[in-house]
Chain A
């Protein structure tokens, strides 16, 4: 869990992501004035999030490979993690689990025969829940 220590980085005031880009992203959600301090903090926590997401997905998929390993982190590892973690719920539609075409067709068929779909593709959470 010590992904921060592992990178050998203590607390510091350097950011890797460009502040201007993070500001643009923040502005897209109708925030008022953004102080430099808040911008710094958002950039930092976005960086932390990137590392958190990557390392959690990796650890979850390759539990024993702490040491040098040549495993590859793939999309599916991420979507599995997103499906599992409560605090990543907001990413369910951003990193959805991939399904095969015939599975999708099956889903459509079931939906149709199940009837009573008043509105077509309005957030269809039913597909992901079905196997639990």
Chain B
């Protein structure tokens, strides 16, 4: 669980970069504004997560799915995010599939080399 409240902060440098990307060239962001956006982003993530969890529970599901999140975003009035996220998700799924396939191919080629590569992915899913 969360031990310190700082654990909920998102890295400043990444936030700064994302903001810069979304503003016209030459525009600046005050330190205070950046901090506020970072805070808002953490709260957004918590807000969407807990709303999705509630939605999943209502449907008697224990774990949230991608669909729950997309539906939650629509309900929370962020439906403008959904199309682009759906596309990202498709690309992500394709990538995972390709990774799996190339791993399987590798396994065929050298089946005794790395027996615990699949264990690593399972761990990552926890």
CA distance A27 to B50 in the complex (A): 10
Instruction: Point out the residues of chain A lying under 8 angstroms from B80, CB to CB.
Output: 1, 52
Give the docked Cα–Cα distance between A42 and B96 (Å): 17
Could you tell me the distance between the alpha carbons of A75 and B33 in the complex, rounded to whole angstroms? 4
The residue in chain B whose Cβ has the minimal distance to the Cβ of A19 is B124
Please choose the segment from A83-91, A107-115, A120-128 that sits at the chain B interface, where 4 or more of its residues have CB less than 8 A away: A83-91
B104 within 8 A of A: no
Q: Are A50 and B85 neighbours in the complex by a CB distance under 8 Å?
A: no
Complex contacts, B39 vs chain A, CB 8 Å: 94-95
Shortest B98–chain A CB gap in Å is: 10
B24 to nearest A CB, angstroms? 6
B88 at the A/B interface (Cβ < 8 Å)?
A: yes
Cβ-based interface call for A69 (8 A): yes
Q: CA of A125 to CA of B27 in the docked complex: distance in angstroms?
A: 34
- Main secondary structure, interface of B, reads helix
**Nearest chain A CB to B30's CB is how many angstroms away?**
5
Q: Known: A25-B8, A36-B125, A48-B84. Is A30-B63 also a contact (CB below 8 A)?
A: no
What residues on B are CB-neighbors of A13 within 8 Å?
88, 91-92, 94-95
Which residue of B has the minimal Cβ distance to A72?
Answer: B28
Q: How far is the CB of B19 from chain A (nearest CB, A)?
A: 4
Shortest Cβ gap from A1 to chain B (Å): 8
Closest Cβ of chain A to B48, distance in Å, is: 7
Given A22-B45, A51-B22, A44 contacting B124 (CB threshold 8 A) = no
Taking each of A1, A44, A65, A66, which has the highest tally of chain B beta carbons within 10 Å of its own beta carbon? A44
> By the criterion CB–CB under 8 Å, are A28 and B33 in contact?
no
Q: Knowing that A22-B10, A51-B18 are A-B contacts, what are 7 other residue pairs whose CB atoms are under 8 Å apart, sorted by A's residue number?
A: A16-B17, A18-B11, A22-B45, A29-B50, A37-B96, A44-B88, A72-B27
Residues of chain B touching chain A, judged by Cβ–Cβ distance below 8 Å, are 1-2, 7-11, 14-15, 17-19, 21-30, 32-33, 36-50, 52-53, 62-66, 69-70, 73, 76-78, 80-81, 84-85, 87-96, 124-126
